[in-house]
Amino acid sequence: MAATQLCSNSASLSKALTQNPFPKIPISPLKTTLNFQRTLKPFTLKAVLSQNPAKSQTHTAPVEHCFSKKADGFLYCEDVRVQDVMETVEKRPFYLYSKPQITRNVEAYKQALEGLNSIIGYAIKANNNYKILEHLRKLGCGAVLVSGNELRLALRAGFDPTKCIFNGNGKLLEDLVLAAQEGVFVNVDSEFDLENIVVASRIAGKKVNVLLRINPDVDPQVHPYVATGNKNSKFGIRNEKLQWFLDAVKAHPNELKLVGAHCHLGSTITKVDIFRDAAVLMVNYIDKIRAQGFEVDYLNIGGGLGIDYYHTGAVLPKPRNLIDTVRELVLSRNLNLIIEPGRSLIANTCCLVNHVTGVKTNGTKNFIVIDGSMAELIRPSLYDAYQHIELVSPAPQDAEISKFDVVGPVCESADFLGKERELPTPDRGAGLVVHDAGAYCMSMASTYNLKMRPPEYWVEEDGSVSKIRHGETFEDHMRFFEGL
């Protein structure tokens, strides 16, 4: 930042700091009734927000994305003003989803998959909200699981076990027993994993349908923390060891039925050629496997499709581009295609909605301090991930635009949601959203600094807003110590 700009920024900041400390935006008092309602009946805002039908009638323009700024300068989720939701719910950070956007994302995959036998296995690790899982199940998705509890949750949410796939490099025997009992697909990740699956099959008294997770050693060109299909990865079997695994499966005809091959390259992938390169390798492996007499019907190409986190209008591949790049390969071998999308199904359906606690400068850097933090949303701190940030209401006319680090109150310098973001200087109490927060945000949230996990809401098809997860409370925390 140029020195002159810094000076003017500092001046406007000090003005902001000496201004009326109470925001122009009214902060609704904390709704003490909410906590009581937790135990009585599910809290829904339907009634409250539908009282204002004018809002949904005024904005009838086709929605390009579920979160968009409309002509009045306010941010909307579908046709609901985010500011209105903020004034109606608990005054703490919260996640706000669009249910119709979740539906649209699933429909995009379904349409892309037309003409293929397929399973859309939603990767539950991306977001494990129970209400969202029920919705995805109703839309026809299967589930991809990486722990026994994710498997239990999927079963509770009514997922068809024959559309579920249990993944992981460290699956526990007890969880494999459950998987065997329920008849879900299991991906074999290593020699010891195969041994455990055999034991689990014997305990459950059921043969297990397995896929070999082969490491294709393709570079997904993503952050190393989310690359999973290269040679140095902890996931999958080495492709040179394929014959060992085929022999081991042959040696256990009562326990294992080899039904397919699996790979997962990584996450946030923005070039579909990478999927094609991997699929070419995978169908070659399938040819080799079939040549040995195995009736292998499934190709699982994993998940990993990226989304437009930067909001720069870049044209990124859509589900159709992904599926089209592997379609002919799949059809040529008469295979069923399994895909495991997480991020591309759920990330863009949600924002983390925060309140501005205050604005400060240290002379060289400006900060917007919000009530949300790395505890609610850790991706920027963990992967240096970019998530777009904006204010939910039009800025005051005299608000100076400056560069800010957007930070939370957690006692860590790594606690930031965004760095060097150009934003109008916000009033205290103003709403600020972190976009594309549907995947790997709430599911990675912690209670660090005893910031209790936030509540979640979604906007429904009719424009009403419902709570879909209670925020955690201090009392929830104390419950872990009861009776000790």
Ligand X SMILES: Cc1ncc(COP(=O)(O)O)c(C=O)c1O
Enzyme catalytic residues: 411
For residue 237, the Cα-to-chain-centroid distance in whole angstroms is 26
Using a CB cutoff of 8 Å and minimum separation of 24, what contacts does 281-287 make? 281/216, 281/218, 281/239, 282/214, 282/216, 283/329, 283/330, 283/332, 283/333, 283/335, 285/214, 285/239, 285/242, 285/261, 286/260, 286/261, 286/333, 286/335, 287/333
Least distance between ligand X and beta carbon 342 (Å):
3
Span near ligand X by CB under 6 A; candidates 34-42, 204-212, 279-287, 301-309: 301-309
| Of 340, 376, 415, 436, the one binding ligand X by CB under 6 A | 340
- Residue 463's region, left for phi above 0, alpha for psi from -120 to 50, else beta, is left
Least distance between ligand X and beta carbon 234 (Å):
11
Say whether residue 303 binds ligand X (CB under 6 A).
yes
Task: Give per-residue burial for 170-190: e unless 16+ CB within 10 Å, then b.
Answer: ebeeebbbbbbbbbbbbbbbb
Least distance between ligand X and beta carbon 142 (Å):
12
| Of 216, 342, 408, 438, the one binding ligand X by CB under 6 A | 342
Closer Cβ to ligand X, 343 or 355, answer by number = 343
Least distance between ligand X and beta carbon 65 (Å):
19
Span near ligand X by CB under 6 A; candidates 297-305, 366-374, 388-396, 465-473: 297-305
Scan residues 181-210 and list those touching ligand X (CB under 6 A): none
Give the CA distances from residue 387 to residues 197, 397, 414, in Å, rounded to whole numbers and listed in that order. 39, 26, 15
Scan residues 159-178 and list those touching ligand X (CB under 6 A): 167
Least distance between ligand X and beta carbon 264 (Å):
4
Name residues whose C-beta falls within 8 Å of residue 53's C-beta, 6 or more positions apart in sequence: none
Least distance between ligand X and beta carbon 229 (Å):
9
| Of 216, 229, 341, 372, the one binding ligand X by CB under 6 A | 341
Closest by Cα among 214, 142, 127 to 183: 142
Closer Cβ to ligand X, 344 or 381, answer by number = 344
What is the amino acid identity at position 157? A
The count of residues interacting with ligand X (CB under 6 A) is 17
Distance between CA atoms of residues 459 and 461, nearest Å? 7
Say whether residue 143 binds ligand X (CB under 6 A).
no
| Of 147, 344, 425, 464, the one binding ligand X by CB under 6 A | 344
Name residues whose C-beta falls within 8 Å of residue 456's C-beta, 6 or more positions apart in sequence: 94, 95, 96, 97, 129, 442, 467, 468, 469
Say whether residue 126 binds ligand X (CB under 6 A).
yes
Distance between CA atoms of residues 46 and 39, nearest Å? 18
Closer Cβ to ligand X, 213 or 252, answer by number = 213
Say whether residue 267 binds ligand X (CB under 6 A).
yes
Closer Cβ to ligand X, 329 or 339, answer by number = 339
Least distance between ligand X and beta carbon 144 (Å):
5
Span near ligand X by CB under 6 A; candidates 171-179, 238-246, 248-256, 299-307: 299-307
Both tokens of 17, joined, read 């700091």
Closer Cβ to ligand X, 77 or 226, answer by number = 226
Scan residues 421-460 and list those touching ligand X (CB under 6 A): 439
Phi, psi of 345 (to 5 degrees): -90, -30
| Of 148, 236, 302, 424, the one binding ligand X by CB under 6 A | 302
Say whether residue 137 binds ligand X (CB under 6 A).
no
| Of 82, 123, 194, 375, the one binding ligand X by CB under 6 A | 123
Closer Cβ to ligand X, 264 or 355, answer by number = 264
Closer Cβ to ligand X, 303 or 431, answer by number = 303
Distance between CA atoms of residues 322 and 271, nearest Å? 9
Least distance between ligand X and beta carbon 316 (Å):
13
Query: Around Cβ 102, how many Cβ atoms within 10 Å?
Result: 23
Three-class SS string for 29-62?
CCCCHHHHHHHHCCCECHHHHHCCHHHHHHCCCC
Closer Cβ to ligand X, 163 or 428, answer by number = 163
Least distance between ligand X and beta carbon 185 (Å):
12
Closer Cβ to ligand X, 146 or 198, answer by number = 146
What is the amino acid identity at position 335? L
Scan residues 213-242 and list those touching ligand X (CB under 6 A): 228
Phi, psi of 434 (to 5 degrees): -105, 115
Residues that bind ligand X (CB under 6 A): 123, 126, 144, 167, 228, 264, 267, 302-305, 340-344, 439
